[in-house]
Structure 1
Amino acid sequence: MRALRWPATAAILVLATLTGFARPARADPAVTWAVCPEDARVECGRMRVPADWASPYGPTIELQMARRKATDPAHRLGVLIVNPGGPGGSAVNMALDGDFFSADLRKRFDIIGLDPRGVGRSAPVLCSQALVDAKPSPLVGSEAGFRALADYNRRLAADCTARSGPVVQHADTGSVVRDVEALRVALGEPKVSIFGASYGSMIGELYGDTYPGTLRAAVLDSVMDHSADVDAFLSQETASVQDSFDEFVKWCARDARCVLRGQDIPALWATLMQRAAAGTLEDPYDPPAKLGVWELISAAFSAFYDPQWFSFAHYLQDAAEPGQAAGRIAVPPIDLTPNSFPAVFCGDWSLPVGDFTAYRRRIDALARIAPQVRASPIALSAAAGCVGWPHPPASPQHRLAPARMPMLLVNALHDPATGHAWAQQVAVQLGPSARLLTYQGWGHVAYSHSPCVKAAVERYLIDLTLPPVGTTCPAVEPEPFGIG
C-alpha cells in the first residue's frame, strides 16, 4: 500500500475544520469532477454525504475519489470500485496507479478509487502525533497497565474527535457501504463491480450483503472474516503470523542467498526477544534507539507482507551484530498524523477482552499458539485499541447471507494478515455462488504476487467466469529487494 502525501500541518488543520464540522445540510448524491493534479488522464471527484447516515440532515463530510475512465468506451462494462485495505490505505492512490491493473481491465472499466470516510483524502481522522507516538504496548503485564491502556484510548478518541469531528464516531465499514451506494446512485450506474483487497474485502462483503441487487461482481482478495468473535479473531490471526514465521525459516534453509542460512533462526530469534525484553536490543536501522518486544514482533509481521524475506534476514543479522547498519536520517516531528485505524476497527468489531485477568489469559493463550511471534500485531493492536474506546461498534460482526451472484475470493495459503482459514470460512458463508481461488504461496494481496491469480481475477471481472472448484495457483518464490 502506498503512503499518501500529506500537506503542511496548517493545511491539515484547515482540512479537518472544513470536513469535520461542515454546516448541516442534506447530502444529495452528486459528484463534482476535475482533472487530478497528479495525472491529467485521471479525474478527481468530490461528494458530500452525511457524517451519520441515520441523520441525513445533520453534519456532512466530503468524500474524495479518483476515476480512471475506460480506455475502450465502446466495450466498457461499467464501474469498478477499488480499495487497497488497511484500514488506512488510500483508494485514490490505487486508482492513480496506472500499472496496478492490466491494460485489458483498464479498457473495460472506469476504475474508481473512493477513499473511505476517515481515510486518505475523505475527511481524514487526524490526531496528535505526540499522542499517537505515546501508544502503549498491547502486551500489558499489570492491572495498572491495563487501566492505563483504557485511559489512553479514551484520550486518543477525544483528541481525534476534537481535531477531526464526527467522522471519528462514524468511520465504520457499514457507513462506507452506504457511501458506495450513494456514489453508484450519483453516477447513474445500475450496478457496480468491486475489487476489495485486505480490509477492503469487507466493503465488497458488506455491500453484497446490503445491496445484492446492484452488485455486478465482487473480488475479495485476502479475505476478512467479519463473523469472527474476539477469541477466533485473535487466535486465527496469530496462527497466520506464526505460519509466516515458520515459512521464513523454511525459506532460509533452502535459499543460499539467505544471510542466515545454516543458523538456528528460532534460537537467534529467542536471543533477540530476550534482549528486547531486557531493553538492550538496539534498532539496527535507527541506533541507538532500542527495540522492545512488541516492536520486534511488529518488524517481523511487516516483513512477511510481501514477503521481504531477504531484507528481514539482513535485519535480524544486523540486530544480532549492532553497529553494522547505518542509522536513518532524522525526520522532524509533525503536529498531526492520519490515524484512522482505531476509529475504523472499533466501529466494525466487538472485541470484548474482559478485565485484566481475562485479557492476560488471552495473551498467554496466543503465545502458546505462536511461540515465536507471541501474537498477531494487527489483531492484538485492534483488540487493545478498543479497550475503553468510548463509542460502541456501529457495524459489529455478523455472518454473511448467501451470495446472490458469482463472487470470487482469492487468498494466499501463507498470508500473515488474513489467514487462509478466513477465506475458507467466508466462502462457506457465501455459499455455492462464491468460489475460493488459493494462491499456494506467501504474502498479502494475492493479486499482486501471482500472474495466475491476476489472470483469473480479470477473467472473472470481464466475463463473470469463475475458476473451477478447487483451482489453485502455484507459488512464486520471492525475489530479493529492499536490501541496503
Structure 2
Amino acid sequence: MPNPRGLRAAALTSTAVLLAALLAGCGDDTGPGGGAPSGQTPAWKDCPPPSAAEGGGTAPSPPPGGGAWQCATMRAPLNWAKPNGETIGIALIRAKASGPGKRIGSLIFNFGGPGGSGVSTLPSFAPDYAKLRTRYDLVSFDPRGVGRSTPVVCESDSQLDQYFQQDATPDDAAERATYLKNTARFNAACEKNSGKVLPYVRTTDAARDMDLMRQVLGDEKLHYFGISYGTELGGVYAHLFPHKVGRAVLDGVVDPTQDPEQSSLGQAKGFQLAMDNFARNCVSQVADCPVGDSAQDVKNRIAALLKKLDAHPIQGIFPRRLTQTAATNGIAQALYSKELWQPLTEGLEDAYEGDGRILMLLSDAMNGRDQNGEYSNLAAANVAVNCADEKQRYDAAYVQKKLPAFRAASPLFGDFLAWSMLSCTDWPVKGAADHPDVSAPGSAPVLVVGNTGDPATPYEGAKKMVDALGKGVAVELTYKGQGHGAYDSKNKCVQNAVNGYLLDGRLPAPGTVCS
C-alpha cells in the first residue's frame, strides 16, 4: 500500500512527472443514481482536468500520433447481486486507434494500486503504448471507489498530513496505542464518509465492471493489460469470465496464492533486494558513491538515518518535517524505478545534512499528495479494496510475534511492513477470501511477465500466477531487470514480446528470458 499501512500497491506516479517535480524543487456525475447498466452507449467527450480524487492537474495533452483523449461514464450496479438496483458511475478514458493496421478492438489497462486512477494515469504513459494504439483503442478507467467512480473518502487533507507523519513502526506500548488509535480513527472516517460503497469495492466487483465495459465498448472479447494489482484484477476476471478473455498481458505480477502476511513478508524481501541492488550500483559507479563507501556502508548509513529520524525529524517541506515513516516511504518509492535511484542518492545526501525535502517529495508521491497539499483518494481506496478483499484481521500481539521474521527478511523495511498488517483491524466490512481465485480453465492464453528485481511484486509471484491460472493457460516471460514491472522499463526484448502477442497473437516461447 502506498501509505504507512504497507507497500503492497504499485507506485502510480509517472516517473517522468515525478522527476520533473524533483528537479523543480471525465466530468459526468459518477455518484450513486439510477439508470440501467445494460444497453448503454457511452457519451464520449473531451476530457476535463483530473478531479482532486484522481490527483488533480490539467486536462491531458493530445496523445502521441494525433487524435484526442475522450472521457465518458458507464453505469454499473452498486451491488452486482442486485443488477437492476441502484447504479454508480464508472469513469472511462480512451484514445481511438491511430492505425495503420486493422483495428482489433479496445485494450483495457489497469495500472495497479488498488486505488490508482486509470483516467489520469493512461495519458501519462501513452508514449509507451503508441505502437499498441496502431490497432487498439487505448482504454482505461477509474475502478469503483477510485477517482471519479464514487471515490472512497476517509480523512481530510490536513488529517492525512498528520496521519502520514505518524510513527508507523511503534517501539513501545505508548507508541503502539497511538498507532492503533490512528488506524481506528482513519477506518472510522472511511465508514462515516463512504460506508455505503465499502461493501462493494471488491476486486470481483471491479472484474464484473470490466465485463460490462467490454460489452459497452462493443467488444466480443476483453483484451487487457494489467500491471501490479492490475494482474490480480486480470486473473480474477479470467476466473469469472474465462471464455471472454481475449489477448491479455499481466506485468509486475501479484502472487495470487498469498495471504496478506505472506504478501507483506514477500515485499519485505523484495524491497530489501532492491535496496541491495541500489547500494551495489551506487558504489560501482566511476565516481565515489556519495552515500557510502561500500554497499554495506550505504545500508548502514540509511539505517542510522532512519533511527535518528525516529527521535529527531529534520526539515522537510514546510511546515512538515521528515519523520522516520516519511523517509522510509520515500526510499521505498524510489526503489520502484531505477530512474529514481539518482534522486534517491541526492535525497539521502541532503538528508544526511539535515535537508529532507527530496525524500519528502518521494514520500508524497507514494501517498498521492500533490504540491498544493491535496491528496488523491489513492490511499483511501487502497485500504478499502484490500480490506474488502482480504478475510484476515491481525492484532498488535500477532504482529509483535512476527517481527523477528520480518526483520530477518529486511532490516530496513521489516518493521514497517509488519505493522502494516494492522490496516484492516476493526474495518467495518468483512473480507471476502483468504486470497483471490484466479483459476481460469478454458481461458485464451495469458502472457505473464515477471521481473527478477521487482521490489513490490517479487519475481516468484509470476510463476505462482502461471500455475494458479491453470494448465495450458499462461506463458511466462522473464525480465532480468530492476524496478516495478517490465514493459515500461523500455527493454526492447520485453516490448517486442508483449507487442508481438497483443498485435499479432504471437506468444513468445515458454521460458523466454529478456535482459
TM-score computed with the length of structure 2 as normaliser? 0.80
Q: Which residue of 2 aligns with 1:477?
A: none
Over the residues paired in the alignment, what is the CA RMSD in angstroms? Answer: 3.0
Q: Structure 1 residue 149: deviation in Å?
A: 4.6
Q: Structure 1 residue 66: deviation in Å?
A: 0.9
Q: Structure 1 residue 210: deviation in Å?
A: 0.7
Does 2:164 align with 1:133?
no
Distance 2:371 2:180 in 1: 30
Matches within 5 A, 1:22-171: 22-23=32-33, 26-37=36-47, 38=59, 39=62, 41-72=68-99, 75-97=102-124, 99-127=126-154, 128-135=156-163, 136-142=166-172, 146=176, 149-164=179-194, 166-171=196-201
Distance 1:223 1:327 in 2: 27
Q: Which residue of 2 aligns with 1:341?
A: 382
**Range with bigger deviation, 335-344 or 42-51:** 335-344
> The residue matched to 1:56 in structure 2 has which SS?
coil
Cα gap change, 1:396 to 1:65, in 2 (>3 Å): farther
Q: Which residue of 1 aligns with 2:391?
A: 350
Match of 1:465, as an amino acid? R
Q: Which residue of 1 aligns with 2:446?
A: 407
Distance 1:327 1:410 in 2: 30
Q: Which residue of 1 aligns with 2:467?
A: 428
CA contact (8 A) 2:248 2:446 kept: yes
Distance 1:239 1:269 in 2: 17
Q: Which residue of 1 aligns with 2:331?
A: 300
> The residue matched to 1:386 in structure 2 has which SS?
coil
Structure 2 gap segments, 5+ residues each: 1-11, 18-26, 48-58, 362-369
Q: Which residue of 1 aligns with 2:322?
A: 291
Distance 1:121 1:288 in 2: 30
Q: Which residue of 1 aligns with 2:290?
A: 259
Distance 2:111 2:323 in 1: 30
Matches within 5 A, 1:459-478: 459-474=500-515
Does 2:270 align with 1:237?
no
Cα gap change, 1:387 to 1:256, in 2 (>3 Å): farther
> The residue matched to 2:314 in structure 1 has which SS?
coil
Distance 1:209 1:468 in 2: 24
Q: Structure 1 residue 217: deviation in Å?
A: 1.6
Deviations 1:313-369 (A, max 9, x none): 12111111225979999966559855311111112223332x322111223320121
Q: Structure 1 residue 171: deviation in Å?
A: 1.5
Q: Which residue of 1 aligns with 2:432?
A: 394
> The residue matched to 1:88 in structure 2 has which SS?
coil
Cα gap change, 1:255 to 1:295, in 2 (>3 Å): same
Deviations 1:61-118 (A, max 9, x none): 1111012111238611122111111222221234434734444311111111121111
Q: Structure 1 residue 442: deviation in Å?
A: 0.4
Q: Which residue of 1 aligns with 2:224?
A: 194
Match of 1:451, as an amino acid? K
Distance 1:473 1:335 in 2: 37
Structure 1 gap segments, 5+ residues each: 6-14, 475-484
Q: Which residue of 1 aligns with 2:364?
A: none
Q: Which residue of 2 aligns with 1:282?
A: 314
> The residue matched to 1:166 in structure 2 has which SS?
coil
> The residue matched to 1:437 in structure 2 has which SS?
strand
Q: Structure 1 residue 438: deviation in Å?
A: 1.4
Cα gap change, 1:325 to 1:184, in 2 (>3 Å): closer
Cα gap change, 1:229 to 1:24, in 2 (>3 Å): same
CA contact (8 A) 1:408 1:436 kept: yes
Distance 2:318 2:359 in 1: 6
Deviations 1:265-285 (A, max 9, x none): 1221232122122x22414x5
Deviations 1:176-234 (A, max 9, x none): 00101111122232101110011111121111111010111211110112320233112
Cα gap change, 1:358 to 1:248, in 2 (>3 Å): same
Q: Which residue of 2 aligns with 1:311?
A: 343
Match of 1:202, as an amino acid? E
> The residue matched to 1:41 in structure 2 has which SS?
coil
Cα gap change, 1:254 to 1:360, in 2 (>3 Å): same
Distance 1:335 1:269 in 2: 28
> The residue matched to 2:351 in structure 1 has which SS?
helix
Matches within 5 A, 1:442-481: 442-449=482-489, 450-474=491-515
**Range with bigger deviation, 388-397 or 236-245:** 388-397
Distance 2:206 2:462 in 1: 22
Cα gap change, 1:52 to 1:143, in 2 (>3 Å): farther
> The residue matched to 1:413 in structure 2 has which SS?
strand
**Range with bigger deviation, 257-266 or 384-393:** 257-266
CA contact (8 A) 1:79 1:109 kept: yes
CA contact (8 A) 2:247 2:446 kept: yes
> The residue matched to 2:186 in structure 1 has which SS?
helix
TM-score computed with the length of structure 1 as normaliser? 0.85
Deviations 1:139-172 (A, max 9, x none): 2345565565555444434433444462333222
CA contact (8 A) 2:101 2:134 kept: no
Match of 1:265, as an amino acid? V
Match of 1:343, as an amino acid? A
Deviations 1:343-397 (A, max 9, x none): 11112223332x32211122332012112332565x853x222111111123651
Match of 2:153, as an amino acid? L
